[in-house]
Structure 1
Amino acid sequence: MTAAADLLHPVVLHHVVNTLQWPGLRPLQEAAVAPLLAGADALLLAPTAGGKTEAAAFPTLSRMAAENWRGTSVLYLCPLKALLNNLAPRLETYTGWLGRRAAVWHGDVSASRRDRIRRERPDVLLTTPESLEAMLVSIRTDHHEFFAGIRAVIVDEVHAFAGDDRGWHLLAVLERLRRLVRKADPSRELQVIGLSATVGNPAELLHWLEGSGAGRRQAEVIAPDLPTATVVGAAPGAVPPGAIELDYVGSVPNAAKVIASLHAGEKRLVFCDSRALVEMLGTELRARGVTTFLSHASLSAQERRRSEEAFTEARDCVIVATSTLELGIDVGDLDRVIQLNAPTSVASFLQRLGRTGRRAGTVRNCLFLTLTDDAVLRAAGLLTLWGRGWVEPVVAPPDPRHIVAQQLLAYCLQEGKVGDRLWADEWNGLAPFDRSAEPIVRHLVRAGYLDSDGGLLFIGPEAERRFGRRHFMELTAVFTAAPEFTVLWGRDEIGRTDPKLLTDPVEGPRLLLLAGRSWRVTHTDWKSRRCFVEPADSGGRARWLGHSPFALSFPLTRAMRDVLLGTDPPVALTPRAVARLAEIRDKYTDRVHPAATMIVRDPDGDDVRWWTWAGDLANRVLAASLGDLADPRQAPDEAYLRLRSDLTPQMWKTATAGLADRICLPHVNAESLAGLKFNTALPPRLAEATLATRLADLPSAQTVLHEPTRWS
């Protein structure tokens, strides 16, 4: 053990040496000891299974013991309930060394266990931000007393929060928590520790996580294994030649055939980009005699847990999953990661790659099995970016006005009544939860979401009507979930399915595909949204109403263009992938140019497309900015947008002169707006502006407009 380890509390160090029988701490754990013991805010970066939990927990528990913290003093926040369940045994063990306790609180925890936590407060509480807020607003939890002693907050997989609205929600709830702590002791500042495996902008991410506490204490990015402050594997030299391979297989049955025939006797994790694809591949693998387990968000918690536990204990098997297994849930030592089609980002690929190579003598590896031309091109573009050492920066979505409205309502629910001039103080001046939110407050009062009387704000009848069911649970959930029906076999819950599968016309019995098996629907209870099933031999269908497709970025789309122009990613390509890429390149010959965008008219003259290769969001901006030059019926994709059929070069030159200086945000329709939760609590123009800003990439659109355009 090194001098850094000697700084830990003697009891913690004793158990590290004698109970865990570690010969020493890992580099990240050593580097984290001194700053965390000194109370610094920190972002700990390491690949998956790099020991981040212990790097945060050991110094924090050492402080707890040395400074005699009492009551619930540490919060451990995770994005997934499954990750909390996975971490709980380890943290229960570590706290037990010191005679302390850890407990889990989330939506699946029973009421009796929650009551016990209220009575016998654990030293470390593992929860999600949504469950934390539910505790703050609950009349059964004395939040002023329960949270007054919080000293440190550990946020696991922080990048999974920061890139979407859950990040804004997390920051806002932490500010309310910070306020409670300061009211109990004005001299106390929360220590915030983030854990992440995949970031391209670590310093900015740490500053974001600190919220209003930024600059009040020492802050440090700790990444001794990662000299570039990104994730291991960001450069191809970190992975042996041939360990990453790109193949083209063309169909799900072909993918199953490849998986069944390769790597017999090994444990394989297959990532798919949709729940329906998980179900289809799982069924095909089982039909070939492969021991297969499934994991995705629409399976019941019991079904997922059963699959993940069985997979952990087995050897010659496959687990097929969506991104639910991308984060730090431990499914044991993997031999292989297989990717069907392509992940949505380099960061996501690196997270999945990091699942392998954990045992001595093994290496990180990933096999891409692509099903379509679009998938093989996207995979090749993504791997090209990876080969250049590029990782996406984690950037919070702009203008979260709907989250501001949600927070104002939640805070009034938490405190009962709030001063109509004092509400902004509760977020400690953190924008956008500060005075800039005055127009939103005025709208909430006008629309009846808030009532105002005697200088106080409190929950109004409209908030009761829209969000008041089941003790305002709807108000603490940041995302809008698509309606689904619970599928039951007897008393056992199998999972949830899209209601369209229960209403579409069918001939013969109605068959579902769920948990890798076919089921015959025997009864549907429309009022309670439940359907009852019995096993069927085959023929089931899988479908879910998902979120809108992931928007491909400007860097990824330009890397795809580079592939079409002849760049090969620095990975092994199978003969099938080489042949398919050659066919795709031949198909796109007149649509790509290394120094210009292309306007291409089809031979009949009716279809004119501008091949910008700028990404979905930039093309939305360009379509809106071009006005009547763009086809109003189109939905631009990442590569092109359609133009009016009578367009001439002169018309184009006149219309685009100086257009980079007057681009505009894309139009927002009612269907898109419905996906922005809490949008009804905003003035319509603010709701539209919020979504329009998020559907736009203005800098990339300007880049395209400054590039030359060639006609073909």
Structure 2
Amino acid sequence: MSGAEDLDAVVLHHVVNTLGWPGLRPLQEAAVQPLLAGDDALLLAPTAGGKTEAAVFPLLTRMTEHGWTGTAVLYVCPLKALLNNLLPRLETYTAWVGRSAALWHGDVGATGRKKILTGRPDVLLTTPESLEAMLVSANVDHRAFFAGLRTIVVDEVHAFAGDDRGWHLLAVLERLQRLVGRPLQRVGLSATVGNPEALLEWLQGSGVGSRPGRVVAPHLFDGQAPTAAHGPPPGDIQLDYVGSVGNAATVIAALHRGEKRLVFCESRRLVEELGEKLRTKGVTTFLSHASLSVDERRRAEEAFADARDCVIVSTSTLELGIDVGDLDRVIQIDAPATVASFLQRLGRTGRRADTVRNCLFLALDEAGLLAAAAMLHQWSQGWVEPVVPPPEPRHIVAQQILALCLQEHQVGDRLWKEWWAGFGHFGQSAEPIVRHLLDEGYLDRDGDMLFIGPEAERRFGHRHFMNLTAVFTAAPEFTVLNGLAEIGKTDPTLLTEEVSGPRRLLLAGRSWQVTYVDWKRRRCFVEPVDGGGRAKWGGVGLSFTSYALTRAAREVVLGADPQVRFTGRATSCLAEARERFAQYVHPDRTLIVRHSDGDVRWWTWAGHRANATLTATLASLADPAQRPNACWVRLSPDLTPQMWKQATADAGQRLCLPAVHEQALKGLKFSTALPQRLAEATLAARLADLDGAAALLGGQVRFVGQSTAE
């Protein structure tokens, strides 16, 4: 078995005789040498590409050869469900060499945790939040427990790196590294991304430049993602236009009967509405989204895995590598936010030798059709988004300083920086944050030592500081119960809005009538009814269309066709969209159009963040009250070409960050632990796209007279 001869003989025996594999996959072969050498690595492969085994087999070999003791490997995942799914496999693999694996996350009870603390499994599967909780818990001797730690495996690392959970994870890993007193090998597992080298460097943290690291991706062309020169990626992709949720349900019910279908929606409300309509058409339907109870999701996923002629409707909760059995089809309602998400979803199909990867897109309206066509245009060019960590994570710095003081009880006022080895924003630049934490009572001081202050106790001390271990602010929701059975959670506004007649909710694909609301305990009791329920969830997060995908939509309007199959309905709808938007696009410049209602709009096709940056930069010309829009910026109705020329002469060199409303800061957890100006600067940097704005300001613009179409 080429490339595997250096694996432990027992591991190799079981690969051949227990798993029945004729050989290792290319990624698994290529990963053996760098991981055995102790190098940091980023292992890239499409979904179901064998990444877990590519990491675990060499690490079990090292564990055996070097006699590692105690908990030597941490296997970190973004989702508890993914960890639950992985545990049986890792228990099997570790047992081959007389080792053990165990699971620690928020759903593991006190008995299970006590067993782990006394037994110390060789491989511990966990989440960043649970790692943080272990470090700050009075019930865990973290120095003793992590004394044998050698390697961290981060599964779905791209899912971490793109948001604040990634900064939190890296900061926790730096603290662990200092705790054990040795460099920790870091191994990231990821689907294809647009910037693998940068993602590896991000994962290495303070070890960049001092530790060897390697991107292992034999499926890529010369280590890079495929491009248009290689032709479209393989897959049976079709784009259809259906016009409504009801029509989508009709199409799904009629097509692919007898097959197992996974349908992705971009909101929980849409999952519920589509799920209900499919059930009324007699389709065996299961649902999965974050506001369903753990038991409800687990029952649905297990039933779906065992069934055949059925559909499961899901948000991105099933996008990652959770096993829901052997899928026949993936169906996408409208479009996912990124090409990377689409690749994850596409990779759920085509795992049998006689099948190909496939996805059917069902657009609910013209906007959904354009978004899908734009995303598929980028995909067919071989383009994948670079994973870019959110800038200026000052609020995570504040959280980490407080967490460190909980972990160590007290920290020297000049020594706290050493816990992050000068990594990124956690070094000298964090001094103003520490001063603010002291001034506001989040930290207290005794001589040269810092410790948790009364304000941190008041804001975050509930339930042993559990609120300090999670970096996201969750919108308040009410728990929905049918008797003693928890169904899930719902937005409280559904319980307070005026209604005529009985109040009904839509949850788990079924309608429920509210019988009693316990306002104090945030509980809602319901009974099943035949129909009429509504689904709704609020949220504090912001989802913006990117510069690249909005520009791709412009290319589609200008005539570019993604290299996928179109139905007649999709072709007709796209032709109508192109005709409607034709007056707002130009091949080599942007247009400033005076519309029939008097509006003057600059059709930038630049995405929400770039347009928000342009609005702030062109303050004298742009309407400051406008909401961010992906395609255009509203300008002064009195605008003339001369005014435009004067205002934009040097605007590309004096770009401004978007204004931040105080209400928006509530979505930035721990922002209250920052000075107001730093909290606003953090959010403003995340709402901006300076490169996109500069590109638009540097391009040519044409003024167009009054338009008659809207």
- Match of residue 466 from structure 1: 459
In structure 2, the residue corresponding to 1:685 is in which secondary structure?
A: helix
Query: What is the CA distance between 1:566 and its match in structure 2?
Result: 1.1
For 1:628, what is the secondary structure of its paired residue? Answer: coil
In the alignment, structure 2 segments of 5+ residues that lack a partner are 705-710
Q: Tell me, in whole angstroms, the C-alpha distance in 1 between the residues paired with 2:115 and 2:15.
A: 30
Aligned pair in 2 of structure 1 residues 117, 233: CA closer, same or farther (>3 Å)?
farther
> What's 1:125 paired with?
124
Deviation at 1:227, TM superposition (A): 2.1
SS in 1 for 2:619: helix
**How far did 1:232 drift?**
8.0
Identify if the C-alpha distance between structure 1 residues 380 and 181 changes in structure 2 by more than 3 Å, giving closer, same or farther. same
Cα distance, 1:545 vs structure 2: 0.7
Q: CA RMSD in A?
A: 1.2
Q: Deviations over 1:539-578 (max 9, x none)?
A: 1100001344421111111110011111111111111111
CA separation of 1:231/1:353 partners in 2, compared to 1, >3 Å: closer, same or farther? farther
Q: Which residue in 2 is equivalent to 1:659?
A: 651
**Which position in structure 2 is the counterpart of 1:19?**
18
| TM superposition score normalised by structure 2 | 0.98
Match of 1:52 in 2: 51
State the Cα distance separating 1:481 from its structure 2 match.
0.3
Q: Give the deviation of 1:582 after TM superposition.
A: 1.0
Match in the other structure for 1:173: 172
For 1:682 and 1:236, how far apart are their aligned partners in 2? Answer: 49
User: In 1, are the aligned partners of 2:70 and 2:148 still within 8 Å (CA)?
Assistant: yes
Q: Which amino acid aligns with 1:238?
A: P
* Contact 1:565–1:592 (Cα < 8 Å) also in 2: yes
Structure 1 residues 630-669: Cα deviation after superposition (integer angstroms, max 9, x where no partner)? 1122113110011111222222222222111112111000
Query: Could you tell me whether the CA contact under 8 Å between 1:327 and 1:351 is conserved in 2?
Result: yes
Moved more, 126-135 or 231-240: 231-240
Work out the CA distance in 1 between the residues paired with 2:358 and 2:194. 21
Report the Cα distance in structure 1 between the residues aligned to 2:209 and 2:643, rounded to whole angstroms: 54
Contact 2:226 2:382 in 1 (8 A): no
1:348-427 matches, cutoff 5 A: 348-427=341-420
How far apart are 1:6 and its partner, in Å?
Answer: 2.0
Matching residue's letter, 2:440: A
- Matches of 1:115 and 1:399, distance apart in 2: 38
Deviations 1:197-254 (A, max 9, x none): 13111111111101112233321111112225466899654325xx101111010010
Equivalent residues of 1:510, 1:520 under 8 A apart: yes
Give, as a single letter, the amino acid of the residue that structure 2 aligns with 1:77.
Answer: V
Change in CA separation of 1:59 and 1:199 when aligned onto 2, cut-off 3 Å: same
TM-score, normalised relative to structure 1: 0.97
- Partner of 1:542 in structure 2? 535
* Partners of 1:283 and 1:524 in 2: CA distance: 24
1:213 and 2:207 aligned? yes
2:39/2:212 contact within 8 Å kept = yes
Compute the displacement of 1:123 (Å).
Answer: 0.8
- Letter aligned with residue 676 of structure 2: P
How does 1:103-502 map onto structure 2 within 5 Å?
A: 103-182=102-181, 188-227=182-221, 229=223, 237-240=232-235, 243-502=236-495
Inter-partner Cα distance in structure 1 for 2:40 and 2:542: 36
CA–CA distance in structure 1, aligned partners of residues 663 and 222 of structure 2:
42
- 1:66 Cα deviation from its structure 2 partner: 1.2
Q: Point out the more displaced range, 398-407 or 113-122.
A: 113-122
Give me the whole-angstrom Cα distance separating, in 1, the residues matched to 2:220 and 2:622: 46
Equivalent residues in 2 for 1:452-601, closer than 5 Å: 452-601=445-594
2:155, 2:509 → 1: CA distance? 31
SS at match of 1:671: helix
Q: Which amino acid in structure 2 is aligned with residue 446 of structure 1? A: D
Q: Which amino acid aligns with 1:295?
A: S
Runs of 4+ in 1 over 3 A off after TM superposition: 228-238
Q: Assess, with a 3 A threshold, how the Cα gap between structure 1 residues 50 and 543 changes in structure 2: closer, same or farther.
A: same
Distance 1:157-1:233 versus aligned 2 partners, 3 A rule = farther
Distance 2:560 2:150 in 1: 51
Distance 2:407 2:331 in 1: 46
1:513-548 deviation per Cα after TM superposition (whole angstroms, max 9, x unaligned) = 101101111111111111111111111100001344
Change (3 A) 1:662 1:416: same
Choose 222-231 or 14-23, whichever is displaced more: 222-231
SS in structure 1 at match of 2:262: strand
- Check whether the contact 1:231–1:350 (CA below 8 A) recurs between aligned residues: no
Aligned to 2:707: none
Aligned to 1:95: 94
SS at match of 1:238: coil
Contact preservation (8 Å) 1:47, 1:231: no
Per the alignment, in what secondary structure is the counterpart of residue 49 of structure 1?
Answer: coil
Separation (CA, whole Å) in 1 of partners of 2:665 and 2:540: 13
Q: 1:18 to 1:231 in 2, by over 3 A?
A: farther
Q: Which amino acid aligns with 2:113?
A: R
Q: Would you say 1:636 and 2:628 are equivalent positions?
A: yes
Q: Retained in 1: the 8 A contact 2:233–2:380?
A: no
Distance 2:48 2:648 in 1: 51
Q: Measure how far apart 1:98 and its partner are.
A: 1.6
Give the letter for the 2:367 counterpart. Answer: D
Query: Deviation digits for residues 442-491 of structure 1, max 9, x if unmatched?
Result: 00000000001110000000000100001101110100000011111111
Is 646-655 or 192-201 further displaced after alignment? 646-655
The 3-state SS of whatever aligns with 1:247 is strand
Contact 2:613 2:693 in 1 (8 A): yes
Structure 2 distance, partners of 1:452, 1:588, is 62
Partner of 1:185: none
Q: Secondary structure of the residue that 2:618 maps to in structure 1? A: helix
Q: Aligned match of 1:699 in 686, 691, 703?
A: 691
Please state how far the C-alpha of 1:17 moved relative to its aligned partner: 1.4
Aligned pair count reads 703
Would you say the 8 A contact 1:199–1:230 is kept in 2? no
Q: What is the DSSP-based 3-state SS (H/G/I as helix, E as strand, rest coil) of the residue aligned with 2:620?
A: helix
Counterpart in the other structure of 2:708: none
1:689 to 681, 684, 690: 681
Does the CA-based 8 Å contact 1:623-1:630 persist in structure 2? yes
Aligned partner of residue 637 in structure 2, secondary structure: coil
Q: CA deviation at 1:603?
A: 2.3
- Residue 375 of structure 1 aligns to a residue in which SS? helix
Contact 1:28/1:223, CA 8 A, preserved across alignment: yes
The residue aligned with 2:38 is 39
CA distance in 2 between counterparts of 1:106 and 1:89 reads 16
Partner SS, residue 351 of structure 2: coil
Distance 1:621 1:233 in 2: 30
Give the drift of 1:65: 1.1
Contact 1:133 1:476 in 2 (8 A): yes
- AA aligned to 2:659 is H
Instruction: Indicate if the aligned counterparts of 1:273 and 1:323 stay in contact, CA closer than 8 A.
Output: yes
Rounded Cα–Cα distance in structure 2 between residues aligned with 1:493 and 1:6: 51
Kept in 2: contact 1:479–1:677 (CA 8 A): yes
The code of the aligned residue for 2:73 comes to V
Question: What secondary structure sits across from 1:395 in the alignment?
Answer: coil
1:618 aligns with 2:613: no
